[in-house]
Structure 1
Amino acid sequence: MERRNLLRAAVLGGTAAAFGGTLWRGAAYAAPAQPGAGPYGALGAADANGIRLPSGFTSRVIARSRQKVSGTNYTWHDAPDGGACYADGSGWIYVSNSEISSTGGAGAVKFNSSGTITGAYRILSNTNVNCAGGKTPWNTWLSCEEVDRGYVYETDPWGVKAAVRRDAMGRFKHEAAACDPQRGVIYLTEDVSDGAFYRFRPTTWGDLSSGTLEVMVGSSATSGSVTWARVPDPTGASTATRNQVSGTKRFNGGEGCYYANGTCWFTTKGDNRVWAYDAAAQTISLAYDDSLVTSGTAPLTGVDNVTGTASGDLYVAEDGGNLEICVITPQGVVAPFLRVEGQSASEITGPAFSPDGRRLYFSSQRGTSGSSSGGITYEVTGPFRT
């Protein structure tokens, strides 16, 4: 998720369409999300951590790169990136990637039921530019390498089992992953300007050692029906995976990916879009596009990581823009939820909610220093809609 200044296309193909999936409670939309009042009200002044939050919310620093996590002997990794939370008895674990060349990998912080840190440790080491990834229903973390012909590694958030490289999931510039247990597939984004959107069908659900990698096929329209086709050579040895199938649908800089209740949402930073793939209908539409904002200034730019809540809200982090996490509601309203001040050379990464939905974790990848060694990981607590 390196910062890029990409030119926007002036002409949009197709027609803006409705959000898909039952998460949006069946509401019909004539267009993608528009700016409005968020569910939590306006942002207040920056707190002691430089974070602007709505009334009732507070922040704390969980970890800083190259410093030991409080109460532990684990030194937090550089360039914290994609993340996820896992239930651990009455507590939970937050997993975070490290987007560093050659020595990337992932680490984890463990919390008890009151939110006190009780441990921190490494779960993946010496891999390459681990950007985003995804949580599996069987409670592993898929850590994705954002390099040409990069791999996906399946890791143990508890740090007990050794990480396993999952070659069958393809070799390309991986970004994020999202699991669809209804169809037994894993969706995958690709971070290049002419990238593809993939799904991996394991031979046996829950076992990623073998399976079929497929690519989405469709026109350049921003809404309508799509199909899937098998990628002949998932290794990309002679031809990049995105270029092996005629009619592959192109996406400009694939980033975050999140699945719930029949819909997979994913983002593309090259055109500041949030897409909705209705898995049952096999249709695609736009949930948000900054160039289709009809009044005022688009609140969400530099779209990147995405996560969601049981209430139906999507939370989208910015790489650039105002360094915000914005919320998109089921009512089709997009608004800032938080803003990080004084860190313009950074990006927001790894948003993930604790299992009870009451705490949001995220990182500023380069913090106030603008360097990968200056990463800061935060927790926000407050009256989230659950």
Structure 2
Amino acid sequence: MERRSFLRGTVVGGSAAAFGFTLMPGAAYAAPAQPGPSPYGALGSADANGIRLPSGFRSRVVARSGQRVAGTSYTWHPAPDGGACFPSGSGWIYVSNSEVNPGGGAGAVRFNSSGAITGAYRILSGTRQNCAGGATPWNTWLSCEEVDRGYVYETDPYGVDGASRRSAMGRFKHEAAAADPQREVVYLTEDVSDGCFYRFVPDTWGDLSSGTLQVLVAGSGTSGSFRWQNVPDPGAGSTATRHQVSGAKHFNGGEGCHYAAGVVWFTTKGDNRVWRLNLAASTYELAYDDSLVSGTAPLRGVDNITGASSGDLFVAEDGGNMEICVITPDEVVAPFLRVDGQSRSEICGPAFSPDGTRLYFSSQRGTSGSSSGGITYEVTGPFRR
């Protein structure tokens, strides 16, 4: 990635709250979240797009797999998955992965200040099963291959610079990434039933071409202290990265990952949990566990995760009843939206526009249940900030 891309990103680096990278001061998150009333109110009836939303919110379809994005020549990719938003002049860009193999890659949609689509294009091609990823403070998109010994690719949302494979970030079944500008590291999840949680320490912050891959080492419980230890062979030449360090903590299907103000959250789909790492204290604990809630668990099929500047977390479901649920700083978990009539799909790629008023996400397989039927949506309304 050219140096000018890094400089372009530093202009907005201090205003990362627009992307939900900061946490409202005083937010506690001191115990596993429990069901309660949503701060946005109850869900209404399904709208014309089959989406149930709280009062004051509305949805629109941004793109459909196999069809040209409105007003552009770009055909939207199959199986849209992880995504993120980036500033672009007075507008913004939404980036989306394609979780197919072979093919994969990622595409982008550009919006102007009023939310109108002004362009769409490919930013990564020729990769495999690009699932989730993460944005960097210098405004690049890390697209992760969810295949055995997969790679991370650093891409340019603006469509100017070519993509670069970041081999030093390890070869494993990558899922999501979250950048921590305070410690100058990138956290990584691994989507296997005995996966690990990693961090990549670049030799130079802003340049991911070289550095050290480390794995989280901790006990077998759901809370306690942790430390980091170097992975001897990030390229996994003979032994999988998750099996190289004695004492590495294993997690049941790592999925989404989100960093905010000294805390990193990540999800595990195999046990429907959201984990919280207090980085200053080097401790970990559960932020949500569907087996520990009182009554019916509102959040199941725990998958992608993002955050708002209010401190609210938004967690998408792969399965469940096709919801995006909110977890508040007061440890309340409740549905924010539900997609009807798409039970063979999954919700993925939640990301906020820079001003925090629009939420983008995809239904990976739409109403058809096939990767060719993906639908990408936008929801607008009075989000808490």
Please indicate the TM-score interval, normalised by the length of the shorter structure.
Answer: over 0.9
Post-superposition Cα deviations, 1:300-335, rounded to whole Å, max 9, x if no partner, equal 000000000110000000000010000000011000
Partner of 2:138: 138
Distance in structure 1 (CA, Å) of the matches to 2:23 and 2:289: 19
- Does the CA contact (< 8 Å) of 1:203 and 1:212 recur in 2? yes
Is 1:270 aligned with 2:270? yes
| 1:46 match: secondary structure | coil
Partner of 2:196: 196
Partner of 1:313: 312
Partner of 2:368: 369
When structure 1 is superposed on structure 2, of 22-31 and 58-67 the one drifting more is: 22-31
Partner of 1:184: 184
Q: 1:246 to 1:24 in 2, by over 3 A?
A: farther
Distance in structure 2 (CA, Å) of the matches to 1:31 and 1:354: 29
Partner of 1:14: none
For structure 1, the 5+ residue unaligned runs are: 1-20
Q: 1:1-386 maps to which residues of 2 (within 5 A)? A: 23=23, 25-26=25-26, 31-294=31-294, 296-386=295-385
Q: Which amino acid aligns with 1:57?
A: F
Q: 1:253 to 1:215 in 2, by over 3 A?
A: same
Partner of 2:5: none
Post-superposition Cα deviations, 1:200-234, rounded to whole Å, max 9, x if no partner, equal 00000000010000000011111110011000000
Equivalent pairs counted in the alignment come to: 365
Post-superposition Cα deviations, 1:268-292, rounded to whole Å, max 9, x if no partner, equal 0000000001111111011000000
Q: 1:49 to 1:215 in 2, by over 3 A?
A: same
Q: 1:29 to 1:104 in 2, by over 3 A?
A: closer
Distance in structure 1 (CA, Å) of the matches to 2:70 and 2:161: 24
Structure-1-length-normalised TM-score: 0.93
When structure 1 is superposed on structure 2, of 144-153 and 22-31 the one drifting more is: 22-31
Deviation, structure 1 residue 29: 6.0
Distance in structure 2 (CA, Å) of the matches to 1:297 and 1:43: 17
- Does the CA contact (< 8 Å) of 2:69 and 2:76 recur in 1? yes
Deviation, structure 1 residue 102: 1.7
Distance in structure 1 (CA, Å) of the matches to 2:47 and 2:178: 33
- Does the CA contact (< 8 Å) of 2:24 and 2:310 recur in 1? no
- Does the CA contact (< 8 Å) of 2:24 and 2:309 recur in 1? no
Report the identity percentage: 79
Post-superposition Cα deviations, 1:41-81, rounded to whole Å, max 9, x if no partner, equal 00000000000000000000000000000000000000000
RMSD (Å) for aligned C-alpha atoms: 1.1
- Does the CA contact (< 8 Å) of 1:25 and 1:330 recur in 2? no
Distance in structure 2 (CA, Å) of the matches to 1:365 and 1:336: 19
| 1:383 match: secondary structure | coil
Deviation, structure 1 residue 31: 3.1
Q: 1:29 to 1:176 in 2, by over 3 A?
A: closer
| 1:168 match: secondary structure | helix
Deviation, structure 1 residue 345: 0.1
Structure-2-length-normalised TM-score: 0.93
Post-superposition Cα deviations, 1:226-267, rounded to whole Å, max 9, x if no partner, equal 011000000011000000000000100000000010000000
Distance in structure 1 (CA, Å) of the matches to 2:30 and 2:61: 41
Q: 1:245 to 1:34 in 2, by over 3 A?
A: same
| 1:157 match: secondary structure | coil
Distance in structure 1 (CA, Å) of the matches to 2:64 and 2:51: 16
- Does the CA contact (< 8 Å) of 2:33 and 2:288 recur in 1? yes
| 1:178 match: secondary structure | strand
